[in-house]
Amino acid sequence: MSARARAVRQIGVMSLAVLLLAACTPVDRESGSKSASPRSASADTAERTSLTQELPLPTTVVCNGHGFLDVTFEVDALLDPRPATELGPAAAAAVTRQDLGPNAKGVAFETLPEDWIIGEERADRVVLLRPQSSETVQYITLPADYEMRLFLIDPVKPVDASQWYPTFENTCAFELPLREDADNPVIALAADNSPEDSFIDIWVSDMTCRSGLSAEGRIEIVRLREFDDRIELAVAVAPPSDQPAAATCQGVAPTRYRVELAAALGERTVIDLSRIPAQRVPILVTRDVG
């Protein structure tokens, strides 16, 4: 395997490291409580493999909380990814075909890409994912941790390498459910956070249809863990008690929310634990929000 391919294999492993690394003693707050004493490394690692004891990592996930053409993904494929260069011969031939018609323009690959990973590889379907991230965002929308390209065999024709039909592309993010009675919002850091402050302000956007109701008063910090080099954060938004039975889906400005820290922010990275793999929280640079 080439050095580049080995590097791609580490993409998910490096992202998972924020869940598994026990390099320093954390300050731990879950639902507002602070740990009374330091944990051993083994206990710390065991807890990080799941967000809480009640929320182990699922075995499969779907794109952005809903199925895209009924595609589900094995979590192991995200946390221990295989580069696209390891596709089998049939799948490799499918994703590099150039005669799939106009819909395939810009989607099929000329050669197997080293910076994409295998989301799924089956006889009738191949899904490739490319991790992507940004330190800043202009507005809050559905997260796009991955670019996705989907290759299918026409289900009404015999399964044959010559029957692959035009491909699709989309973006995806994968969520770790935090609460059965709450939703995962999309979060971003406020642009005016200061390294000297012992708090961070975040923007919280409830992406569920709420008939125009803001997230004010419904935001909950499910987990907050502080380390020398990073802050791990998980945020949930409870449903409103007075939401109409038939909710509408108009856009609502994100809600600014302050998270108190045990020490100054400094140069630490803020990590969103609600995503699989965990992701860096971007800075919302738009000034006229809220």
Q: How far apart are CA 33 and CA 49, in angstroms?
A: 20
- Percentage of residues in the chain with pLDDT exceeding 70? 68
Q: How far apart are CA 79 and CA 166, in angstroms?
A: 29
Q: Which of 172, 190, 217 is the last residue before a domain boundary?
A: 172
Question: For residues 95-130, b (16+ Cβ closer than 10 Å) or e, as one string?
Answer: bbeeebeeebeebbbeebbeebbbbbbeeebbbbbb
Of 130 and 157, more confident: 130
Number of domains into which the chain is organized: 2
Position 86 pLDDT exceeds 70: yes
Q: Which of 137, 172, 207 is the last residue before a domain boundary?
A: 172
Q: Are residues 84 and 35 in the same domain?
A: no
Q: How far apart are CA 67 and CA 61, in angstroms?
A: 9
* 6 within a domain of the structure (yes/no): no
Containing domain of residue 249, as a range? 20-49+178-284
Q: Are residues 229 and 274 in the same domain?
A: yes
* 195 within a domain of the structure (yes/no): yes
Q: Range with the lowest mean pLDDT among 16-20, 92-96, 101-105, 204-208?
A: 16-20
Mean pLDDT over 69-94 rounds to: 88
Q: What is the pLDDT of residues 214-252, one digit of tens each?
A: 888 999 999 999 999 999 999 999 988 876 677 777 777
Q: Which helix (H) or strand (E) holds 94?
A: helix 89-95
The dihedral region occupied by 245, where left means phi > 0, alpha psi between -120 and 50, and beta the remainder, is alpha
Q: Are residues 183 and 41 in the same domain?
A: yes
Q: Which of 120, 153, 172 is the last residue before a domain boundary?
A: 172
Name the pTM for this structure.
Answer: 0.75
Q: How far apart are CA 27 and CA 38, in angstroms?
A: 8
Token digits of residue 279: 């992701």
Position 41 pLDDT exceeds 60: no
* 219 within a domain of the structure (yes/no): yes
Position 68 pLDDT exceeds 70: no
* 75 within a domain of the structure (yes/no): yes
Q: What is the pLDDT of residues 186-206, one digit of tens each?
A: 999 999 999 999 999 999 998
Position 46 pLDDT exceeds 70: no
